[in-house]
Amino acid sequence: MANIGRVWAETVPRRPADRPRTSWGVGGTARLPPPEPAIRDRVMWLEILLASVLGFVIYWFISRDREEILPFEDGWWGPGVKTITREDESIRPFKVETSDEEINDLHQRIDKFRLTPPLEDSRFHYGFNSNYLKKILSYWRNEFDWRKQVEFLNKYPHFKTKIEGLDIHFIHVKPPQLPSGRTPKTLLMVHGWPGSFYEFYKIIPLLTDPKSHGLSDEHIFEVICPSIPGYGFSEASYKKGFNTVACARIFYKLMLRLGFQKFYIQGGDWGSLICTNMAQLVPRHVKGLHLNMAFVARNLSNLTLLLGKRFAGFLGFTERDVELLFPWKDKVFYNIMRESGYLHIQATKPDTVGCALNDSPVGLAAYILEKFSTWTNSEFRDLEDGGLERKFSLNDLLTNIMLYWTTKTIVPSQRFYKENLGQGMNQKHERMKVFVPTGFAAFPCEILHVPEKWLKSKFPKLISYSYMAAGGHFAAFEEPKLLAQDIRKFVTLVEQQ
């Protein structure tokens, strides 16, 4: 490519050797001297530069949609050095349990907690309002029945199995009834922070037993919901470096261990990135990828927001995109600034704040429930109660808190941020595209709206994009029916291909 300019020059017809080169100016013609060596060198380097740029452009157009697969490595995240040659692959039933000692300790800690009065008219602008926190603590201490919630947690079958040195917890729910001749579609659903597998308890029956809930039984699913290592009942890594790619590999091994060679995957928050990584690792095993959140931060098209909504049509934004993105200072810039303080702490010094949260159930509840307020709807920060009970019951919220408290997993769950974000934003999977059929549910109150145009740069096989009628960050927890319907819509499109 570097000699393109020279080759072109040699193909241009030349003057006869005896014909002088002339310059038409005052005084007639004059023979021009041959170019200086310095000028010839400059021309040559200019030719090389132009050829190089042309070569880069051609390479970019050829390779930009080239399918890549994330390298499938192996790992050992258990304690010490791996000494076993073959890991125990047995799948063991597991049951959630509690005790009088656990409950009494919780009550004693709640009784001794010291509250700081909120500023007047501060609502949720300074974080969790302690006046409303008093109501939650009273309910938690005097009305919340953890034993009853443990029974409810055990309504679905729980299991554990060792993978790469860690005990991995998951629930596996099969259809209670299956029409003759039908086989269920396999769906892996992955949670995020500060959620848990419990987020999926309301959507599972809509997927496994749709007819009993007034839905079409065109698609009946068998659902697997694992806990991310370091969350809830899944053992935390003993070593540094456990990121979403390692988690995706472990969950893929889990699916193989359960006997599934091809399956659908779905996720939001960390779950969306874990599922995306799985599609990058083993695309031939992923029938379809459905997300309700996506990470496309490296996309330069994000900068188009700075041009303003007057250029929205030119930039490929729909009217709904404009409503959800503009004014960008309020809906993008300030919203991200307000909601990202926790991320910086957890991506740098997770163990420090973790000491306080692991020791105080009330501090843990305030820290986590604040996210269930503003991430469900950013406007809830204007309410005295944070709008928490508009979308959730206190039983559901406190059950999720208890999954962190009783397992002592708030610290390892926060370390997941440092392992993924504390190593810099230039990891291979961030640069790679995803070449499996993809569906996306855009919930209107998500922290950051992602237009279809942005998604297609990362997911070229995006076949379904839906503007959801309601809901925010915790989609399966907030709007299980809407999410279930969109998953069905996406699967229908995949099956028709």
Q: How far apart are CA 406 and CA 424, in angstroms?
A: 32
Residue 219 falls in the annotated catalytic set: no
What are the helix (H) ranges across 238-303?
A: 244-257, 270-281
Q: Is the separation of the CB atoms in 208 and 174 below 8 Å?
A: yes
Inter-CA distances, 130 with 140, 197, 354, 363, 379, Å: 15, 28, 20, 11, 18
Residue 354: both structure tokens together: 């973790």
- What is the rounded CA–CA span in Å between residue 413 and residue 293? 19
Which tokens belong to 381? 């920060």
> Beta strands 158-163 and 166-173: pairing type?
antiparallel
For residue 44, CA distances in Å to 9, 36, 51 come to 11, 13, 11
Tokens of 63: 């390779």
Q: Provide CB contacts within 8 A for 186, sequence distance 6+.
A: 221, 222, 224, 255, 260, 262, 263, 264
The CA–CA distances, whole Å, from 339 to 26, 182, 184, 361, 371 equal: 73, 45, 39, 22, 8
Rounded distance between C-alpha atoms, residue 95 and residue 169, angstroms: 10
CB 480, CB 203: distance < 8 Å: yes
Active site includes 473?
A: yes
Sorted by sequence, the CB contacts under 8 Å of residue 5 that are 6+ apart come out as 46, 47, 48, 50, 51
Active-site option among 209, 219, 269, 465: 269
Catalytic member of 417, 449, 465, 486: 417
Active site residue 59: no
Token pair, residue 174, equals: 């099969």
E-assigned strand segments in 141-258: 158-163, 166-173, 185-190, 221-226
> What is the separation of C-alpha 34 from the centre of its chain, rounded to a whole number of angstroms?
64
E strand or H helix at 370, and its extent?
helix 361-374
Q: Are 398 and 365 in contact (CB under 8 A)?
A: yes
Torsion sign across C-alpha atoms 244, 250, 255, 256 = positive
Euclidean distance between CA atoms 343 and 104, whole angstroms: 33
Q: Which of 322, 321, 410, 407 is nearest to 365 (CA)?
A: 410
Report the catalytic residues.
Answer: 269, 417, 473
